[in-house]
Structure 1
Amino acid sequence: MPIYLDNNATTPLEPEVRDVMLHYFDVEYGNAGSRTHEFGSRANKAVQLAREQIAALAGADPTEVIFTSGATEANNLAILGLADHGRRTGRQHLVTSAIEHKAVLEPMKALAGQGFELTIVGVGQSGRVSADDILAAVRDDTLLVSVMHANNETGVVQPIGEIANGLEGRQTYFHMDAVQGFGKELEGPRHGRIDMLSVSAHKLFGPKGIGALIARRRGYERPPLTPLLHGGGQERGLRPGTLPVPLIAGFGAAAAIAIRDHDSRRLACIAERKRVLEVLGTLEPNLIGDQAHTLGHVLALGFDGVDSEALMLSLKDHVAISNGSACTSASREASHVLTAMGLDRDLIDSVVRFSWSHLQVSTPWAELAKEIRGLSILV
């Protein structure tokens, strides 16, 4: 099998997380909504523990954690769920950035098609949106600002703290798609002025199929969300359906481990990044995005004259890498993130993304460099 270097797309399960999940699949498999017997009681306790573990990672209260099927659903609930409140209050202006995941951009555009006004703030070649530009776009009738924590294609961390500080005293809600940085960069998601965070377990060495929207109170008031689904009272009426206890327990365990092992994971990823840059740097790659504000486990780069598709094909027996978001990998269209950064098409077509983890086996970077150098000569 090739070495897995696509952790921004999804991560493997931590062995401890797998053990927790198997317990709730095989032993304590009750429905958390069953209140008449011990199986249900234990399932409910597992769910509550997971809320506490996830809330601790986010710097939130456990009652503010709303479980969803993943971050895409959480993003939709945060954005579309505010629409009725926006119409009632006459605040129908939205602000986001051009490099957001499609799970944010498309719900925003859906509301724009329903009469809302949408401002999409551009970025430069740094791949880092300007906090001043975001704040300058905010008006008295702005309902929502949504800016991601870290970009999934470049790994560039956005100026969340500056934006949050600038929104102090305003009615505008602030949402953050925290998927890529959650548990990897601790402080950003914990800023108290962030009203809503979307998170997902499978980017945190937990299971696929479970995520959460963390909806913080302002004083005693929750964000005035309207549910997108109907059919039960689970998750405070905002997300009906039987809770997947094994997945939730796994998510909670992954969050707790992320806190416990944060320093060792970070150092391991930074050390790997240093090795990558030392070896691949001899090929004079074009590094994508502001390298001073990039997650330690991500490197997006391009090699002059080497098409990313050809490179991935050449390296497929050695490593698993990507050239963009997994959610749009079936498309050969130019990345909307790299296009928004103002990169020329030849450079965009050359960009690949390496994203490793603390679980990484030793990667033969020198051998990969030889493969890339040979491909460059052929091209």
Structure 2
Amino acid sequence: MGIYLDYNATTPIDKRVLDYMVDVYTNKFGNADSRTHDFGDGARKIVEQARKDVAGLLGVDSTEVFFTSGSTESSNIAIRGLIDYANSVGKKHVITTSIEHKAVLETVKSLKNEGFSVDIVDPEKDGRVKAQKVIELVRDDTLLVSVMHANNETGVIQPIEEIGEALTDKGVFFHVDATQSCGKLVDELRNTKYNMLSISAHKFNGPQGIGALVLRKKRYKLPPVKAISFGGQQEHGIRPGTIPVALVAGLGKACEIAAAEYKKNYTHCLEIKNAVRGLIEESGINYEYNGNQEYCMPNTINVSFQGVESEALMLSSKQYCGISNGSACTSNDYSPSYVLTAMGIDKETISSAIRISWGADSDLEAIKENVGQLIVVAKSLSF
């Protein structure tokens, strides 16, 4: 079975998070919106504490945090929730990048059916979008700019601080998909100016099925985002539906842990990255990193072993490690990676690309041993 090295797809749940969730499931099973008994009050207190924990990690006010099922829903609400406002003010131009997660890219593209115009910016070959290319596209009728913080396939960090600063006085909403960076690049997110931000708990050792949308207030007012589904008035009408108290508690606990441990975790992940790069570079195999390693997550490497098909390598080495060759949401699609294609990488290099990603709980020595075996297999498959 080997070791798990696909953390960008999903992370193992932290035992401290799981234990807390089990306690909530067992002892705090009330509906957080039930206001007539202690069971509801207890559940509501847990939800509001979790809201504070999310806010504390991100450096925002707790009234700016809204719970969702994850980043996909958060991004859909952030983008499509602005349609009514856009129609009312006549601002129907949106800018995004070609390397966004499908949750953003497909949602933005769907706006074309609503009469919007869309500009999609390609990255440079190193996987990083030039901030100026985004900023130069802003015009009088621009409603929204949406740029991810860290790419899920390459780990390349995008210049959201620079973009956010430039958009501050332009009357344009800025949405950041922080799925891969939340809980990891904590200071960077705290220092970025944005209006909306999407996160998922399962990307930083929380449970699957829960996330949050952050809506930053300006002059005490939230962005004019409306719900895109209908039901009750939970989450102040932004996201209807019964609040899953234990899942929310798990997200809050994951945020609490990340806030306390992110500096130590960053150092550990970077130590692993340096070790993995050392193994690759000393092995004698022909390789090429896909993405600028100077602007890259400390827990991610996307690399092509020349002459080695990634599918063959993953199948032949799965007894050593579980890796991937792209986004989990497109793992059944054998077409070339749209992210690497947008970077201008040739098809042969793309067909050899694998993504290795790990976390704060990963064991350095186990990774060195098993990635070493992965490289041995790769060398045996090269032609």
Q: TM-score, normalised by structure 1?
A: 0.98
Contact 1:201–1:251, Cα closer than 8 Å, also in 2: yes
- Indicate the residue corresponding to 1:340 in structure 2: 342
One-letter code aligned to 2:233: G
Q: For 1:320-364, what per-residue CA distance to the aligned partner results, in whole angstroms no more than 9, with x for missing partners?
A: 000000001000011111000000000011100000112113221
Match in the other structure for 1:169: 169
Correspondence 1:372 to 2:378: yes
Local SS of the residue matching 1:143: strand
Task: Confirm whether residue 355 of structure 1 aligns to residue 367 of structure 2.
Answer: no
The answer as to whether partners of 2:28 and 2:43 remain within 8 angstroms in 1 is yes
Cα distance in 2 for partners of 1:369, 1:148 equals 31
Corresponding residue for 2:288?
286
Amino acid at match of 1:313: L
For these two proteins, the number of residue pairs brought into alignment is: 377
Q: Is the 8 Å Cα contact of residues 160 and 192 (structure 2) preserved in structure 1?
A: no
Residue in 2 aligned with 1:204? 204
Identity of aligned residues (%): 47
Aligned 8 A contact 1:154 1:300 in 2: yes
Indicate the residue corresponding to 2:86 in structure 1: 86
Contact 2:215-2:223 at 8 Å conserved across structures:
yes
Residues 149 and 188, structure 1, Cα contact 8 Å, conserved in 2: no
Note the aligned Cα RMSD (angstroms).
0.9
Structure 2 residue identity aligned to 1:261: E
| 1:368 shift after superposition | 2.1
SS in 2 for 1:137: coil
SS of equivalent residue, structure 2 residue 140: coil
- Aligned-pair CA distance for 1:115: 0.8
How big is each residue's C-alpha offset from its partner over 1:267-315, in whole Å with a ceiling of 9 and x where there is no partner?
Answer: 1111111110111112242011111010100000001101110110111
Q: Alignment partner of 2:267: what SS?
A: helix
Instruction: Say which is worse superposed, 140-149 or 279-288, in terms of deviation.
Output: 279-288
SS across alignment from 1:207: coil
Q: Counterpart of 1:187 in 2: which secondary structure?
A: helix
Tell whether 2:137 aligns with 1:133: no
Show structure 2 runs of 5+ residues with no match.
none
- How many angstroms does 1:192 deviate by? 5.5
Q: Shift in Å at residue 366 of structure 1?
A: 2.3
Q: In the aligned structure 2, how far is the partner of 1:172 from the partner of 1:132?
A: 15
Shift of 1:29: 1.1
The verdict on how the C-alpha distance between 1:192 and 1:374 changes in structure 2, with shifts beyond 3 A counting, is closer
CA distance in 1, matches of 2:219, 2:193: 11
CA contact (8 A) 2:165 2:192 kept: no
Secondary structure in structure 2 of the residue aligned to 1:324: coil
* Greater mean alpha carbon deviation, residues 346-355 or residues 219-228: 219-228
Residue range with higher mean Cα deviation, 26-35 or 6-15 = 26-35
- 1:367 and 1:304 map into 2 onto residues whose CA distance is 17
Q: 1:220 and 1:304 mapped to 2: Cα distance?
A: 54
Distance 2:6 2:91 in 1: 40
Work out whether residues 94 and 142 of structure 1, in 8 Å CA contact, stay in contact via their aligned partners in 2: yes
Residue 246 of structure 2 corresponds to residue 255 of structure 1: no
Deviations 1:48-88 (A, max 9, x none): 01101101111111011111111000000000000110011
Provide the C-alpha distance between the structure 2 equivalents of 1:328 and 1:271, rounded to a whole number of angstroms. 30
Secondary structure of the equivalent of 1:343? coil
Aligned to 1:19: 19
Deviations 1:77-136 (A, max 9, x none): 000000110011000000001110010011111101221000001111111100000000
Deviations 1:191-228 (A, max 9, x none): 35200000000001000000110000111111101111
Look up the match of 2:326: 324
Q: SS of 1:302's equivalent?
A: strand
In 1, Cα distance between the equivalents of 2:286 and 2:38? 62
Query: 2 CA distance for matches of 1:51 and 1:62?
Result: 6
Amino acid at match of 2:59: G
Structure 2: distance between partners of 1:59 and 1:160: 16
Q: Distance in 2 between the 1:188 and 1:242 partners?
A: 33
- Tell me the CA shift for residue 188 of structure 1: 2.9
- Unpaired stretches in structure 1, ≥5 consecutive residues: none
Structure 2 residue identity aligned to 1:224: P
Aligned to 1:243: 243
Question: Helix, strand or coil: the match of 2:124?
Answer: coil
- Structure 2 residue matching 1:209: 3-state secondary structure: coil
Instruction: Assess if the C-alpha contact under 8 Å between 2:320 and 2:373 holds in 1.
Output: no
Is the contact between residue 153 and residue 324 of structure 1 (CA under 8 Å) also seen in structure 2? Answer: yes
Give distance in 2, aligned partners of 1:269 and 1:132. Answer: 31
Cα offsets for 1:128-150 (capped at 9, x unmatched): 10000000011111000000010
Distance in structure 1 (CA, Å) of the matches to 2:263 and 2:184: 9
